[in-house]
Amino acid sequence: GAVVSQHPSWVICKSGTSVKIECRSLDFQATTMFWYRQFPKQSLMLMATSNEGSKATYEQGVEKDKFLINHASLTLSTLTVTSAHPEDSSFYICSARVPVLGYEQYFGPGTRLTVT
Amino acid sequence: KNEVEQSPQNLTAQEGEFITINCSYSVGISALHWLQQHPGGGIVSLFMLSSGKKKHGRLIATINIQEKHSSLHITASHPRDSAVYICAGGGADGLTFGKGTHLIIQP
């Protein structure tokens, strides 16, 4: 089956620093990847849609200059949280979709970010 | 704007019971996902439905397109089924998630 990995699985960083989270499709090429975040006891929320070779599309309320997304290859998308603040502490999950296979999305295991 | 409503929010049952979780969704959603999230946070995709019914082991998912309603059933529930079950709707774009059903199966 389709496997999506994320790295790191958890990270603690100091306020003001930047953190990069990687999302990889291991056995398939993903033309589209999605980034979601989940605050404690809340639903997952879509942050942005990342298409290989083009700029990401951000959801309303998500700062594109703070959450930098790069989808440079068909198997890798990265999310960089710049100048992290404690309120950015959250669970970040990516998913990948192969359009020719339909609408099914394959989820990564998630990255728990804690900003101190 | 896509909307997904899920019920119940919390469900506690005894081992062996038949479990049903319901999901209603709005116009514009062309595929419905059922996901499982364990305490560690990782998401497992259980089903994706755009019509009919799917079965995998003790899990069954159904969808009624006319009524915009889907159900997830667990037969012969087991404590290891305890998790948060989430329905999510979408199509070509990113998913809209329900708030999840926190299921506890007691031995």
Alpha-carbon dihedral angle through residues B41, B45, B107, B53, given to the nearest 10 degrees: 160
Q: Please name every residue paired with A20 in a beta bridge, in sequence order, or none if there are none.
A: A80
Contacts of B93 in chain A (CB under 8 A): 49
Q: What is the structure's pLDDT at B28?
A: 79
Q: CA distances (Å), A56 to each of A52, A91, B2, B9, B80, in order?
A: 9, 20, 20, 33, 38
Q: What is the structure's pLDDT at B41?
A: 75
Residue of B nearest to A91 (CA): B41
DSSP β-ladder status, B69-74 and B96-97: unpaired
Give me the residues of chain A with pLDDT under 70, please.
1, 99-101
Contact between A99 and B30 using a beta-carbon 8 Å cutoff? no
Predicted confidence (pLDDT) per residue in B23-67, tens digit: 999 877 888 999 999 887 788 889 988 889 999 999 999 999 899
Residues of A at the B interface (Cβ-Cβ below 8 Å)?
34, 36, 38, 42-46, 49, 59, 91, 93, 95, 99, 102-107, 109-110, 112
Which class for B79: exposed (0-12), middle (13-18), buried (19 or more C-beta within 10 A)? exposed
* B91 in A contact zone (CB under 8 Å): yes
> Where is pLDDT greater, at B65 or B103?
B103
